[in-house]
Structures are given as structure tokens and as C-alpha cells.
């Protein structure tokens, strides 16, 4: 039986001292700032690598509930960087915005507790691995259950860091989140007071070797990327401030004709392919034949391939569709969008097939906007050997950069060039390494166009062949780490 003085002493030993409190508050402030600027619609990529570190360092110096609270609050503060976007531009109700902020923040708190569980016992390699394994498992679960796919994935914060981006060609986007969380967890384990010097050396050697391999592969893949033997001259055009979305027959055809007329000048500049944005107008089934006649004539007249995005059908039942007209004036291909924006596109019917077609330059494919948030769909195009993917899109001003970069990720994962024409967003052309070959922001102008040369090249990637094997590996690793009995407490 423990005496009262002994019990009091033991309890006091767990209470944070004034110095620990100051350290915890500084960690909270630092992580909050790092999360705020290292994530969101325009992240500063290198800050994301450091964002979890202050909280992880503090977690072993305070009690469990304090560590959980610090972690949750820091992540929550970081999520407020998107509140203006969600409340004003997406027009989500406040209670949903709070849910989207609070839930991942609580889960981040759990991730920190898992790290702490092993770190305080000196099981440093387990602490370093359980942190990224838990987060990757959560992101994968979110991808297969959420209507928004990978939109919230932290891997998109690294779109400007091309060497680490190349790992997705092997393991998918899950590899980037793993790297981000392993980096902070390994450093926190090494700088902590727990664990033997021998185990710290092992963790340090393993971590250095791992990141040297990842970054070495990335640099090699960028340097050794082959020069595409074939290319096409592409033109992109979309509206920014003029976001008219006509629903009546006459207005819809008038806007469609306006786009067709403006595309003449792009063809005159040598455009072989013209990509227009998503959902230019709602076109009734009866008016579709008139639309086909309009763009068949335009494509034939301009000797250019033209891809047009529209809503075909009625106000209560329609298809978010892309229609492609060949230079000889025929309707060569159609594609119906698979993944809809909840509420905004509830009346749109889901597509069930992918669209690819042979061209002299190689195999081309079509997707639409939000479809690019889901890696599985793009992987089907990679398996078909697509070298050029044409993507009509519609963004929401503030998210133009981020949503465009999310599409670029799919090209790196599956080895193809992407031409994305986004209304209220950014017109982009990117290659299979994630390099932006050309771009123009159209969110602040009535009309914008971009002319560029797009390589038509397909690179067979391991991710295309093996899929989400790394995500499943993290799930298995997480289960193993949790159920392996912890080592002796130090």
C-alpha cells in the first residue's frame, strides 16, 4: 500500500512545472503558426515538415490529456486558414465548418498520444513509426469513404517540392504524408529525454537512410525524365469574373457560340487542341443537336480538336458532360463526370465509364474537375497507357491553385501530361513529373486563354500497377505497432 506522502509526491511529479508550462505554450503557439501557414489553399511547403514537431517535443513533458489538448488545439488553429473559403465561397453552414475543423484536430490529438505512448517508454522506433502510420491510415480511410476523396490530404502541401513529389509514382500520395509525419516524429524521438543512446542511433541512421532514398529517387527521376517524342499545341480558355451559367435554351446556345467564336483566334495561333471549362451552360437534350452542329462546324472550320464542358439535360436530371469534336467535324468522344460536389451537383447523374481514344500523338483521355481528387479513377487511365489527359474544370477563385495542383498529382502518380482548363481558377499544363509547363490565373478577368505545347508521353509507374499497396501497408503497420506489447518504461 502506498502512503499518502508517497502518493502526493508521485502526483506532484506529473504536474507541469512553470518551465514546462511555458514550454508547452510555446509549442502550442509554434505548431499553430506552422499549421496555419504550412497548409491550406496556398501552403508554404517546408513549414508543413516542422508543424507537428513542437507538439511532439512537448507531449512527453506533460501529462497525456495535456498533450492531447495541445495537439488538438494547434491543429484546430491551423484549420482556420480555410474558414473564409468554406464559409464565403463554398457557403457551407457554420456547423459543418466546425465539424471539418474539430474532427481532424481530435484525430491529430490521438496521433500525438500514440507517439507519446511509445516515446515515454523509450520505444523510439515505434514512436517514430506509429505517428505517420496512424495518419496515413486515416487519410486512406477518408479517401474511400468521403465524397471529397483526397481533398484534405496533407500531401498536396508539397506540390512545390518536386523531389519528394516523385515518390507518389511508387506509393501514391500516401507516401508524402508518411514522409511529413515521420520526419517530425523521428526528430522528436531523438531530441526527447527517453530512450537509450543505442536506440537513438538506430532511429537516426534509419531515418537518414530513408529520406536519402526518397529524395535521391526524386532528384534522379526529375533529372532522368525522357524527352517526349510527340507533343501537341494546346489552347485553354475560361472565364473568371464572368461566371454566367445560363439554364435557358437561348442563353445557353448564345454563350456556347461566344466560346466557339473566341476559339477561332486560338486556332489561328496554331492550337491543335482547344480545351474549354466545365459546365459552361445547361443544354437541353433538344438543344444538344444544335450544340453539336455548332462545335462540329467550329472544329472542322478551324481544323482543331475542341473539348466542351456542359450540363446536358433538365434542371432536375442532367449529366455533367465533356464532348470532344475532332478536326473533321465528328463527335469523337463523350465523358460523364463520376464524382459530384455534394449539394451543388445533386441533380447530376454519375458517369460509370472512362473515356480514352487513339490519336496520332498517342492515347488521350478525359476527366472532369472533381474526378481528379480521386486517385483510383486516374489510375485506370494510367493502366490504359494515356499520355495526355484533358480536364475541363470549375473552381472557386481562392482554391484555384490548390485544386489545380491536386490534378497535377494524378499525372505524377500515373505518368501522363495534364491539360486543365478551369473556370474561376488556373489554366495549367503539366508533365508527368509534376512540372508546370504553362499556367495562367483566370479568376480575376472576364476571359483568359493560354497557349502551350503539351508533351504526349506515358510513363509506366509502379503506383499504376500496384495501386494503394503502401496505404494498406500502413494499416497493417499501425495494427502491429499498437498490439505489440510496449517495452519497459524508462
The domain ranges of the chain are 17-224, 231-458
Which CATH number applies to 231-458? 3.60.110.10
Q: How far is CA 295 from its chain centroid?
A: 33
pTM of the model: 0.93
CB 263 within 8 A of CB 298: yes
Which pLDDT value is given to residue 271?
96
Give CA–CA dist 384/448, Å, rounded.
Answer: 32
Nearest to 474 by CA among 150, 75, 177, 230: 177
Q: State which residues of the chain have pLDDT below 50.
A: 1-14, 489-490
Give CA–CA dist 472/480, Å, rounded.
Answer: 12
Amino acid at each position: 500500500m502506498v502512503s499518502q506522502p508517497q502518493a502526493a509526491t508521485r502526483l506532484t511529479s506529473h504536474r507541469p512545472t512553470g518551465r514546462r508550462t511555458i514550454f508547452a505554450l510555446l509549442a502550442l503557439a509554434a505548431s499553430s503558426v506552422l499549421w496555419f501557414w504550412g497548409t491550406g489553399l496556398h501552403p508554404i511547403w517546408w513549414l508543413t515538415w516542422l508543424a507537428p514537431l513542437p507538439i511532439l517535443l512537448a507531449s512527453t513533458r506533460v501529462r497525456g490529456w495535456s498533450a492531447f489538448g495541445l495537439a488538438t488545439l494547434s491543429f484546430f488553429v491551423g484549420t482556420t486558414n480555410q474558414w473564409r473559403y468554406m464559409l464565403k465561397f463554398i457557403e457551407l453552414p457554420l456547423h459543418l465548418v466546425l465539424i471539418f475543423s474539430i474532427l481532424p484536430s481530435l484525430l491529430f490529438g490521438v496521433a500525438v498520444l500514440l507517439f507519446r505512448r511509445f516515446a515515454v517508454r523509450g520505444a523510439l522506433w515505434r514512436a517514430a513509426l506509429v505517428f505517420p502510420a496512424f495518419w496515413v491510415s486515416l487519410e486512406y480511410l477518408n479517401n474511400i469513404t468521403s465524397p471529397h476523396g483526397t481533398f484534405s490530404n496533407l500531401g498536396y502541401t508539397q506540390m512545390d517540392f518536386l523531389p519528394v513529389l516523385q515518390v507518389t509514382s511508387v506509393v501514391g500520395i500516401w507516401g508524402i504524408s508518411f514522409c511529413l509525419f515521420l520526419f517530425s516524429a523521428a526528430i522528436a524521438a531523438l531530441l526527447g529525454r527517453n530512450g537509450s543512446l543505442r536506440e537513438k542511433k538506430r532511429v537516426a541512421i534509419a531515418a537518414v537512410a530513408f529520406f536519402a532514398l526518397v529524395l535521391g529517387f526524386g532528384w534522379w527521376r526529375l533529372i532522368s525524365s525522357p524527352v517526349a517524342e510527340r507533343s501537341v499545341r494546346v489552347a485553354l480558355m475560361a472565364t473568371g469574373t464572368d461566371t454566367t451559367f445560363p439554364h435557358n435554351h437561348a442563353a445557353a446556345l448564345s454563350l456556347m457560340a461566344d466560346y466557339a467564336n473566341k476559339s477561332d483566334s486560338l486556332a489561328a495561333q496554331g492550337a491543335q487542341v482547344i480545351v474549354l471549362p466545365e459546365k459552361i451552360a445547361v443544354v437541353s437534350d433538344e438543344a444538344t443537336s444544335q450544340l453539336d452542329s455548332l462545335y462540329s462546324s467550329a472544329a472542322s472550320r478551324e481544323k482543331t480538336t475542341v473539348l466542351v464542358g456542359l450540363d446536358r439535360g433538365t434542371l432536375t436530371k442532367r449529366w455533367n458532360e465533356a464532348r470532344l469534336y475532332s478536326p473533321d467535324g465528328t463527335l469523337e468522344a463523350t465523358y460523364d463526370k463520376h464524382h459530384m460536389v455534394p449539394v451543388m451537383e445533386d441533380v447530376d447523374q454519375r458517369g460509370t465509364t472512362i473515356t480514352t481514344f487513339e490519336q496520332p500523338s498517342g492515347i488521350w483521355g478525359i476527366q472532369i474537375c472533381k474526378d481528379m481528387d480521386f486517385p483510383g479513377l486516374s489510375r485506370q487511365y494510367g493502366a490504359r497507357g494515356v499520355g495526355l489527359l484533358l480536364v475541363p474544370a470549375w473552381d472557386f477563385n481562392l482554391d484555384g491553385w490548390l485544386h489545380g495542383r491536386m490534378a497535377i498529382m494524378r499525372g505524377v502518380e500515373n505518368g501522363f501530361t495534364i491539360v486543365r482548363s478551369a473556370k474561376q481558377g488556373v489554366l495549367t499544363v503539366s508533365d508527368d513529373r509534376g512540372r508546370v509547363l504553362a499556367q495562367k490565373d483566370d479568376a480575376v478577368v472576364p476571359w483568359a486563354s493560354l497557349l502551350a505545347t503539351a508533351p504526349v508521353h506515358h510513363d509506366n509507374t509502379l503506383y499504376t500497377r500496384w495501386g494503394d499497396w503502401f496505404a494498406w501497408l500502413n494499416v497493417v503497420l499501425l495494427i502491429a505497432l499498437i498490439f505489440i506489447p510496449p517495452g519497459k518504461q524508462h
